Amino acid sequence: MKSIFKPALLSLLVLSACSADDKTDATQTDQFSATKQDAIAFVKEAEEVITKDYEYINQTAWVQANFVTSDTNALMARASEQMTKTGVELALKAKQFNDVEVDFDTRRKLEIIKMGLVLPAPESADKVKELAEITSNLDATYAKGCDEYGECFNLGELSTIIADPEATHEEKRSAWIKWRTVSPQMRKSYQRMVEIANEGSKELGFADTGALWRSKYDMPADAFAEDMDRVWNQVKPLYESLQCHVRARLNSKYGDEVVALDQPIPAHLLGNMWAQGWSNIFEDVAPVTDVQSTDLTKVLADKGLKEIDMVKTAENFFTSLGFEPLPETFWERSLFVEPTDHTVQCHASAWDVSTTDYRIKMCIKKNAEDFVVIHHELGHNFYQRAYNLKQPMLYRGSANDGFHEAIGDTIALSINDTYLKEIGLIDQVSDESGDLPYLMRTALDKVAFLPFGLLVDKWRWGVFSGEIPADQYNKGWWDLRTKYQGIQAPVARNENDFDPGAKYHVPGNTPYSRYFLAHILQFQFHRALCDAAGYEGPLHRCSIYGNKEVGAKLNAMLEMGMSKPWQEALQTMTGSDQLDATAILDYFAPLKVWLDEQNKNRSCGW
């Protein structure tokens, strides 16, 4: 579930080419003595430039996503090129104020402008063009899904084989290998991209591009990396217990020759092409219980809820917390049902087209999964509206890039039997003794993801810094996957391979730490809000539905946007300015007890 929220035109994933004139202008800006007044004037001008095109860019993106044709794709490409060109120009102008003493807000906005670039190019027209071509080609190579010999593969079909509990381990391994033939041809281009982006990052004042990425978190770059490890170590024992149990169950299914009890788990057996989430192997590892859990999909069918009813129910969750209803245009302009007469991007997403225009785009299915997803997506909309109404353009975004997803998922954690009974969808909450399967399924999704969410950027930070040299790209990748996840490749890999490139976010240059942060923050938020509600009981059974005091506490953080360091936003919500993964341990406490009992006579670790 990826929400599309655009706090500014500076949320750039790729870099389009600038003309030689752009380079000349940027160079000239460094030739005068910048002052505080110049910095203030520049920031004001930048916000005006961004505001002018904000609605147009979002409207163009909306049309392209809802009417997918060659024409709308071309229109969006042109709009994106102009957007990225604007971002480059503003970032290069912002760096002239690096050494100018200014007030807090001016400095914060200058840094937001500079760090809006994910891959900054150096002040060379040729290298700007080269970088744009490389990033475009990397993205296209992944999208085509073809190997160097021209044989193409369908990721969806291969992923279905990986997820199929009836497929043999040989079939799964074959699917795993096939997808990784699309990425070796990316390797040379990726190396060159790293070299150019590092040049651009150094010109902006950063040690390398990885340092630029880590510097977006209101703390020194190295301190952020250390904090990520600290939080991971809090939750690591729970992950290790889960990994041990999963390995033992897979060993029972496939045998010692396929899954050895003293080795990392082969990556192709975990139900996901990248082994980042394991919920597709739930039936292989699930606890057995006699208690019948709620079948929400059946409940929705029995109640006769239509797609629009599901969205109205989700809106009611937020209004029960004291939030104002969504504007009428939300209902007029959103997409709820997949059209039959044209092609749309069905991936669920939340949009703030303007400061008064909020929408979701989703091809809703009347099932439990989409019921939860709708609540998640509306979480983005209510976050967007909260900061849009309070903050200037450059502060219209989440406190850090993990907060937006975390808010949506925090709301989703309240979609449980307690909530379903409150709104009249079920008559009675199931007995706690039947909660273990629910907790296991959730852990396979969320706990299993954590080490992967951490290591993707750890690999890239190492690549950008040179700690992982170009001739060890693949070794560095698998060293991290084994260290953090306890998994291994199902067949021998070498430096002719480029397995990181088989995950979209790597050739697509999408920073990944945000997903790790979101998985930590959502439980920290959930616990804090449940505490504020005076809830006493198992954390996984808490729902904040109907509590306006909790809603006020939530809104106080949402409306801050990016105006303060994320630590201050976190403190507003939780009372602490530190990330804390112990809420995950609290949430899954009953499962941890069960896992430890199952693992009692097993040899865990790898």
Positions marked catalytic: 347-348, 376-377, 380, 405, 505, 515
Q: Residue 503 has what DSSP assignment?
A: S
d(CA 403, CA 514) in angstroms, rounded, equals 8
d(CA 438, CA 416) in angstroms, rounded, equals 10
In angstroms, the Cα distances linking 246 to 28, 453, 595 are: 60, 19, 10
The letter for the amino acid at 277 is: G
3-class secondary-structure state, position 268: helix
d(CA 559, CA 502) in angstroms, rounded, equals 38
Closest to 197 measured CA to CA, from 480, 10, 461: 461
3-class secondary-structure state, position 167: coil
Q: Positive or negative CA dihedral for 518, 502, 5, 387? A: positive
Contact 354, 327 (CB under 8 A): no
3-class secondary-structure state, position 349: strand
d(CA 414, CA 545) in angstroms, rounded, equals 7
> CA 374 from chain center: how many Å?
17
Helix-helix angle 449-465:473-480, to 10 degrees: 150
Report residue 73 as tokens.
């794709």
Distance separating the N- and C-terminal Cα atoms of the chain:
32
Integer-rounded Cα Rg, in Å, for the chain is: 24
Beta bridge partners of 265: 487
Report residue 294 as tokens.
């709620």
3-class secondary-structure state, position 65: helix
d(CA 249, CA 337) in angstroms, rounded, equals 39
Q: Within 10 A of 131 (CB to CB), how many other CB atoms are there?
A: 26
